[in-house]
């Protein structure tokens, strides 16, 4: 896929490394940001569907799940230099989520929150080059997920 061939892999991986250094803090914060932006999504997560919004950040189930999601995202980011491997992992991810009723809109909305989260957490390290690299990466991921969801 052309998007993955043109992405500045170093910019994505280097900025993600900053986020990943404190995954146990950043992962739950990302999920709280997602659920704050889209509170209707909370019901999709049975383990913490009924947890009050102000208790989510300290909820053990949300913490555990969000760290697992960040680990999975790290695997994808680590595969950026190998588009064939990355596409295979994305197809697996799409298949898993399709069975859960996840839609393309869910992914798209999560990507918007992710970009805002990265900008907030990285501050000046989220340079125009890094933002562009992430934009291209997310576009490529979205394209594969959209294609896979349409099957």
Pair 89, 75: CB distance under 8 Å: yes
Structural domain boundaries enclosing 140: 2-149
**Structural domains of the chain, count:** 1
Tell me the pLDDT of the chain (151 aa) as tens digits.
Answer: 566 777 899 999 999 999 999 999 999 999 999 999 999 999 999 999 999 999 999 999 999 999 999 999 999 999 999 988 999 999 888 888 877 778 888 999 999 999 999 999 999 999 999 999 999 999 999 888 877 655 4
Structure tokens that stand for 133 in this block: 């690299």
CATH number at residue 24: 1.10.490.10
Q: Which residue has the tokens 């690299």?
A: 133
Pair 148, 91: CB distance under 8 Å: yes
């Amino acid at each position: 896929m052309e998007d993955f061939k043109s992405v500045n892999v170093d910019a994505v991986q280097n900025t993600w490394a900053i986020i990943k250094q404190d995954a146990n803090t950043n992962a739950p914060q990302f999920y709280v940001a997602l659920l704050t932006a889209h509170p209707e999504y909370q019901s999709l997560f049975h383990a913490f569907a009924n947890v009050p919004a102000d208790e989510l950040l300290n909820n053990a189930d949300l913490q555990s799940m969000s760290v697992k999601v960040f680990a999975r995202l790290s695997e994808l980011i680590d595969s950026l230099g190998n588009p064939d491997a990355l596409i295979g992992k994305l197809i697996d991810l799409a298949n898993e989520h399709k069975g859960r009723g996840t839609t393309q809109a869910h992914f798209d909305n999560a990507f918007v929150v992710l970009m805002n989260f990265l900008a907030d957490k990285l501050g000046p390290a989220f340079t125009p080059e890094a933002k562009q690299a992430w934009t291209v990466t997310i576009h490529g991921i979205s394209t594969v997920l959209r294609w896979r969801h349409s099957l």
